Structure 1
Amino acid sequence: MKLLGISGSLRRASFNTALLHAAAELLPSGHTLAIHDLHGLPLFDQDVEEQGDPAEVVALKDAIAAADALLLASPEYNGGISGVLKNAIDWASRKGTARETAPLAGKRVCIVGASPGITGTVRAQDALRLVLRRAGAVVEPQGEVLVFQAHTKIADGKLADERTRELLARHLQTFVAPTGRTS
């Protein structure tokens, strides 16, 4: 399975981007994860869309369309989804002028998230599931990877906490299993 990872954080030392890098290491063999950067993605604007998707939007939509599934790493900002991730979903939920279907329509999505808070990213993940379903994506598996107190588990851009690594590996295994579930 070819997965596309998208971090909802633009920060250089992002816990969520580190989580995607750990996921790339922990994926079962035969599966790959490419990470798509959201720097430079313009704010969604239907007037701009009607003139044709900007290059950054085309690149995002092409990457999503080419992937078998998505792995979204969501921070939690003020109890919700980061603006940058919501913006990416808004663009990817639309056909644009050059597509027959929106890239997110029917796309399988797995969500993970890391935050310095004690509840991890539970509210952001709930909100993200709602937005993704509304966009036509299929969110699996039902379990959650909520990396709480991420500053104690991620150091120098690496997921160092072994228990969290094991949880992430099991979550990914369930997601890439042929039926979406392990036996």
Structure 2
Amino acid sequence: MKPTNEHHEQPMQAGAPTPSLSPHLMAVWGAFLHEGLMLNAKNGGRASAILELWGQGCVELIMAVCEFIPDIWKQVQPYWYGPQDFPGVFEYEVVSILGEQLGNYILKRDGDLPSQAEAERMITALVVTFFSQGDIVVKEDDPEIPTERLVNLHQRFRERLDQLAGGEA
């Protein structure tokens, strides 16, 4: 599937520093985080419940949740400018779902957001799942999807990119 927006098609030369997150993309992702966080067709009272538990106001919640956007950007870098087509719509299948997971976290944890490390794990799982669609082979004798192995490969790939960006071999 071809990317749905031109922001997925910006060229990047090998060895070039990681481009910064554009304000346009940050705004789009903020909107999708809000969608996943607050809007739920199955639960019309979700937004009120989240805001009541959060206790600091809607604008403050959206600002706090948007603090995770640079983490999404960092996690997606190994794939963003790659030659492969996106297997779906990243904003729907990763960013919005992250918003939903953050809302669920707030509801289950009495108004708290996850720690940075917990949020990074959530983002990693979503990014790896998104980009491995169709690439996971499940054998009859091993019915468990190898998500943990994919996450480990993803983390090693990101570490190697960080080394290369820093000039280390």
Above 0.5 in TM-score?
Answer: no
- Specify which structure has the bigger relative contact order, considering alpha-carbon pairs within 8 angstroms and separated by 6 or more residues: 2
So what's the TM-score if we normalise by structure 2? 0.28
Identify the structure with the greater helix proportion. 2
Larger Rg: 2
Identify the structure with the greater strand proportion. 1
